[in-house]
Amino acid sequence: MKSEAEHSELIELAVKKLSGEASAEELNQLQRLIDEKVENQTFYEELEKTWISTEKARGITQSEVDEEWLRLQKEMHRDQHRSSFSTWLKIAASLALLISISLIVFQFSKSDQMILVATDSSITQTLSDGSVITLKAGSELKYTEGFSDEMRQVTLEGEAFFEVTRDTERPFIVHTPSIDVKVLGTSFNVKADESNTADVVVVDGLVSVKYRDQEVKLNPGEKVIAMLATHKLARLKNEDPNFISWKTMKFYFDDSPLKQVVRDLNHAFDSSIQVEDHLMNCPVTVSFEDQSLDAILRVLQATLNLSIKENKGVKVLSGPGC
């Protein structure tokens, strides 16, 4: 790149494009700069990758944003007389991090709200009241830091396991796109993803679940399923020992059909395993604890005389039958 001014222009235009604020003229100018030199293109690609990865920053506070800004200022001051490409890459990466974080904080800071996102794996967070939330990969939780004096409210998209600290004066409410869950102090699992159902399974304590104009109360060992297509709410006994295997990494199968085993593994590991039709009902009796998916599949392979083939990330189980 020719000058520090050109560096600055490239960063400014790139940030505008990535944040969706660039005009058509600015997009054209950015493309001209990118096409000008290979190092400009590499610079933009690195900045874009950093931007995408940091868009999903979790639970960021304003003080962390301030710290990042101060660190960036020091780096720019220290390197103001240096024009190496690597220096500008570092500064651009820091700038992308700062801006992506600021967007989150700007959106929620007025009400001290936080956003927690689990990307590739589950994460655990202790809230200000002592409640512990384990968020499944691909899920998002929003909450107000400190809560209010009347109630404790969080908003969930996806799946999470809640261990709620008891507070009789401040109920704990979980809002989802379809159901609301209200407790005083208990532990339970909530699944409210993009499927046609939403469900709650109670481990201990008393849980109230509301769906549209219906409401049920659940005791330990019970679950409720909200069927979104028919707008029905069904309360029943939980007979699935693996409903939180995604959290515990413990699996128990007792004469379970292979299709059920594969369903539970896919849910826990976010994997894509398929079974040939004639193997669907092969019975499986086995348990696993803290084992990798590959280790589990090797056991199933040996037990049922299966073959495992992989194509584009999808594992297919085949074999002569059971």
Q: Specify the pLDDT at position 298.
A: 93
Consecutive H or E run containing 84: none
Tell me the CA distances in angstroms from 37 to 20, 44, 168, one per residue in order: 24, 11, 64
Average pLDDT over residues 224-229: 92
Band (pLDDT 50/70/90 cuts) for residue 52 is low
83-132 residue pLDDT tens = 445 455 555 555 555 554 444 333 344 456 788 888 778 889 899 899 99
Do residues 158 and 192 touch, judged by C-beta distance below 8 A?
yes
Strands (E) in 238-292, as ranges, are 250-257, 273-275, 283-289
The residue written with tokens 């990330």 in the block is: 313
Judged against a pLDDT cut of 70, whether residue 158 lies above it is answered with yes
Q: Specify the pLDDT at position 25.
A: 85
Instruction: State the alpha helices, DSSP H only, in 58-208.
Output: 62-78, 85-108
- In the DSSP assignment, the letter for residue 223 is E
Name the more confident of 177 and 51: 177
In the chain, the amino acid numbered 267 is: H
Tokens standing for residue 318: 């085949």
- In the DSSP assignment, the letter for residue 7 is H
The residue written with tokens 């219906």 in the block is: 214
Nearest Cα neighbor of 203 from 161, 251, 250, 157 is: 161
Tell me the CA distances in angstroms from 28 to 19, 22, 117, one per residue in order: 16, 10, 34
In the chain, the amino acid numbered 232 is: K
**Which residue segments constitute the domains of the chain, with CATH numbers given?**
4-109 (no CATH), 114-237 (2.60.120.1440), 245-318 (3.55.50.30)
Q: Specify the pLDDT at position 78.
A: 55
57-81 residue pLDDT tens = 444 444 554 555 555 555 545 554 4
Distance CA 217, CA 222 (A): 9
Tokens standing for residue 174: 């979980």
Name the more confident of 270 and 93: 270
Q: CB burial class (10 A; 0-12, 13-18, 19+) of residue 302?
A: exposed
The residue written with tokens 């699935």 in the block is: 240
Distance CA 196, CA 26 (A): 43
Distance CA 10, CA 48 (A): 12
Nearest Cα neighbor of 197 from 174, 221, 222, 229 is: 229
Tell me the CA distances in angstroms from 74 to 34, 78, 91, 297, one per residue in order: 27, 6, 10, 51
Window from 17-26, 252-261, 264-273 with minimum mean pLDDT: 17-26
Average pLDDT over residues 1-24: 68
